[in-house]
Structure 1
Amino acid sequence: MFRILSLMLCLSSPVLADVEGTVRVVDGDTLDVSGQRVRLHGIDAPETEQTCEDAQGRVWPCGAFVREEVARRYQGQRATCREVEQDRYGRSVAKCFVDGRDIGEALVSDGWARAYREYSMDYDLAEKTAQVLGLGLWASSMQEPSAYRADQRVPTPDTAAPDANCIIKGNISGSGRIYHMPHNRDYANTRINEASGERWFCSEAEARAAGWRAARN
């Protein structure tokens, strides 16, 4: 009986897997490692579109800067990622190491990411040290990334669908005609300007038939 219960528990739990390979940086706390999307465990970096305010009150693009800093350090490097869990979308959440150094710990220690205490206390001390020393983003004023994301989800006239059954966003950009589903990374930040030809769709089939292609993220 004990063996049967153990087997059932194993089958009902997600199988954690490690991944190793070349890094492509997606944003300040998300990597592609050998083509697999990995969210760094226990840290939260500013969103790419997020801004900060320096000691002189000047606004600067801290989110884009952090992404570039992470890319400068790790793009093209070989990483080993040890999966801690999977998020609700089935994506890997892992601790990743380059040359034996924990990427998440390095970013928090240098002040370029926050310890994500809602999910882990692993980097609590590293963050407190960076804050005391005024390193990285601690030299500026920054809204917590989680609070920033929550603010972006508040509907505005150009982000709220006019029809509750037609919530797919058909956006036109330099990349062409792309439609965004609610689970896509840039959905919340995508604005629809119908005067320029952008539109809402009720289904993916409708979007594809009109000449739009699916967002990749």
Structure 2
Amino acid sequence: MTFKTVRLDNSSYRRGVVLGLTMAEIMLLLVFCLLLGFAALTARDRDRITKLAQERDAARSSVMEESALKQLVADLRNIAGNKDQVSDAWETLVRSRDAMQRLEQAGISVDNAIHSARAITAFAKAGLESGDPDELVRDVKLARQIKGALNDRNLSIPSPTEMASAVQNAANGKGEHDWPPIVNLSEADGFFFKVGSAQPNPDFVKSIHSSIAPRLIDYIKEYNVDIVEVIGHTDEQPMAPRPSNLDGALLTVLASRSDISTAMPADNAGLGLARAVAVMQILKGDSRLAGTTILPFSGGQLIQPGDRLTAGSGGDVKERRRIEIRLRRSNPMPDVSGHAIAASSPAAPQDATKGNVKAGNPAAPPLAETRAETAASLVPAHQIASAQPAPPLPESLVGRATVIDGDTISIGDQRIRLFGIDAPEAQQTCVDGKGQDYPCGRSAALALNEFLSAARPTRCDRKGIDRYGRIVASCYRASGEDIASWLVRSGFALDWQLYSHGLYAKEQQSARTNRAGLWQGQFTLPWEWRASGR
């Protein structure tokens, strides 16, 4: 091969390479152009899709707006058909705006007004609306001042109605110095005591509970009083000479340790006081008068009806033998620090051991303390006011016994109720084996006195205290015999199972079998006889 031939071959090769490269470039250019065209088509399609989506959303919004518009049109048509509703709604908006503006002008925010709405509603319900706020403020200040003054005196706060009634009473002359009527209970009107005694008769006691106590309750409420003064008056008939035991007896009566029948006055002044104490005890036993202070006084024979001092005219005058009941308000008692102390009524004693209930003598709480102030009292009231609590009672008492009735005795100044039995009352009558009435209560007392006299002294072992302050005890003669057992076995008393739990059941069966005492005829059980009010 020649050199020229090689050169030709090389040239052809170069031309082929160039041509190949050129073709490759052309192909790449075509591909690029295709890509540009595809991209242009893609962009145009994307814009079209976006536009279609926007058109779709617009169409949806248009449909919704059309639906809402249709609903609005329907609502407007309904409202247009009810012009009053539109007017009311508009007026409500206007009033609300005006109210908010007035609140802002008064310096009250809407939040504060909402917070105070409850108080405003309460005022409205109570009828305390006022066109003048200053007047309402004055009313509230006045009420607070009155409440503070009442609290300073330890007085209860009255209701608005009670306060208005008090003001009206004051306007009508029923005020600080308008006194309640005096309640007069004279023998001339049927209120009797036993002659020379402080013991009221049963009808007197019934009248006190049925008519006198309700009158006092009405006066207490009407005149706002809390003190009841009971004043005993007598005529000028002299009493038979005898020693007086009032200094000690009245204190035991006031402490409910003895009955008023044990009081023995020696003159009319003492008799008047003893009778006042008797009525006081009856009133204090009425639960309707709980919380009321009741004080006894004596006018003796010095004061005639009509508040006139006697000129010394004696004689039997029923109108002068009377009980006067006066009512007043208590005076605040300062303590050592100078503060006022409200007077209080003593509490009723606890019923430690159930005891006998005497007819016509309701249970009465002991008088713990009294403060007497009156010029009409002839007996020093400090003797009553200084009463101190009784000293502790001994477990056993030994001494000469005095018979009070068929189931009650006394040793010294202590009254003793025999435990577990019940004898007929002193006034009780029974029917004997021949069908004749006889004083079975008195017979039981006489039999007991004879039994005790045969063997002295008497010993009593205390079991408790009954509602009247009496010792309840089992008692024995000097011979050691159980007194209660003898009374039941002899038929003068009954086994009171409510308290004895059958302690003397055998003795009672023996008396019944032998037809002893009460069992020889007919009788009413003592507790039933008392319950009948006889």
What TM-score do the two structures reach when normalised by structure 2?
Answer: 0.25
Offset of residue 41 of structure 1:
0.2
1:175-215 C-alpha deviation (Å, 9 max, x unpaired)? xxxxxxxxxxxxxxxxxxxxxxxxxxxxxxxxxxxxxxxxx
Partner of 2:516: 135
2:450 aligned counterpart, secondary structure: helix
Partner of 2:208: none
| CA distance in structure 1 between the aligned counterparts of 2:418 and 2:531, rounded to whole angstroms | 20
Partner of 1:185: none
Q: What amino acid sits opposite 2:424 in the alignment?
A: P
Q: 1:109-124 residue pairs with structure 2 within 5 A?
A: 109-120=489-500, 121-124=502-505
Aligned with 2:458 (options 56, 79, 83):
79
* More strand per residue: 1
Aligned residues of 1:82 and 1:96 also touching (Cα < 8 A):
yes
1:82-136 C-alpha deviation (Å, 9 max, x unpaired)? 1112112332100000020000001111111100111012101110111111111
Aligned residues of 1:16 and 1:85 also touching (Cα < 8 A):
no
Aligned with 2:403 (options 16, 22, 25):
25
Q: What amino acid sits opposite 2:498 in the alignment?
A: E
| CA distance in structure 2 between the aligned counterparts of 1:64 and 1:122, rounded to whole angstroms | 25
1:95 aligned counterpart, secondary structure: strand
1:48-105 C-alpha deviation (Å, 9 max, x unpaired)? 1100112332111111111111112214831110111211233210000002000000
| CA distance in structure 1 between the aligned counterparts of 2:525 and 2:488, rounded to whole angstroms | 14
Q: What amino acid sits opposite 1:93 in the alignment?
A: V
> How many residues in Structure 1 have an aligned counterpart in Structure 2?
141
| CA distance in structure 2 between the aligned counterparts of 1:83 and 1:19, rounded to whole angstroms | 8
Aligned residues of 1:51 and 1:62 also touching (Cα < 8 A):
yes
Aligned residues of 1:25 and 1:75 also touching (Cα < 8 A):
no
Q: What amino acid sits opposite 2:459 in the alignment?
A: T
| CA distance in structure 2 between the aligned counterparts of 1:86 and 1:118, rounded to whole angstroms | 16
> Which stretches of structure 1, 4 residues or more, deviate above 3 A after TM superposition?
13-16
Q: What amino acid sits opposite 1:58 in the alignment?
A: Q
Aligned residues of 1:111 and 1:135 also touching (Cα < 8 A):
yes
| CA distance in structure 2 between the aligned counterparts of 1:75 and 1:31, rounded to whole angstroms | 12
| CA distance in structure 2 between the aligned counterparts of 1:58 and 1:105, rounded to whole angstroms | 27
Q: 1:7-22 residue pairs with structure 2 within 5 A?
A: 17-22=395-400
Q: What amino acid sits opposite 1:146 in the alignment?
A: W
What TM-score do the two structures reach when normalised by structure 1?
Answer: 0.61
Offset of residue 15 of structure 1:
7.1
Aligned residues of 1:41 and 1:93 also touching (Cα < 8 A):
yes
| CA distance in structure 2 between the aligned counterparts of 1:149 and 1:97, rounded to whole angstroms | 27
Stretches of structure 2 lacking an aligned partner (at least 5 in a row): 1-351, 353-391
| CA distance in structure 2 between the aligned counterparts of 1:60 and 1:116, rounded to whole angstroms | 22
Q: Kindly report the root-mean-square deviation, in angstroms, between the aligned alpha carbons of the 2 structures.
A: 1.9
Aligned residues of 1:39 and 1:93 also touching (Cα < 8 A):
yes
| CA distance in structure 1 between the aligned counterparts of 2:467 and 2:400, rounded to whole angstroms | 25
| CA distance in structure 2 between the aligned counterparts of 1:33 and 1:140, rounded to whole angstroms | 33
Stretches of structure 1 lacking an aligned partner (at least 5 in a row): 1-12, 154-217
Aligned with 2:442 (options 64, 68, 79):
64
Aligned with 2:487 (options 88, 104, 107):
107
Q: What amino acid sits opposite 2:522 in the alignment?
A: S
Q: 1:1-217 residue pairs with structure 2 within 5 A?
A: 17-75=395-453, 77-98=456-477, 99-120=479-500, 121-152=502-533
Q: What amino acid sits opposite 1:24 in the alignment?
A: T
Q: What amino acid sits opposite 2:503 in the alignment?
A: D
Q: Report the CA distance shift for 1:151/1:43 in structure 2 as closer, same or farther (over 3 A).
A: same
2:469 aligned counterpart, secondary structure: coil
Q: Quick one: percent identity of the two aligned structures?
A: 37
Q: What amino acid sits opposite 2:434 in the alignment?
A: Q
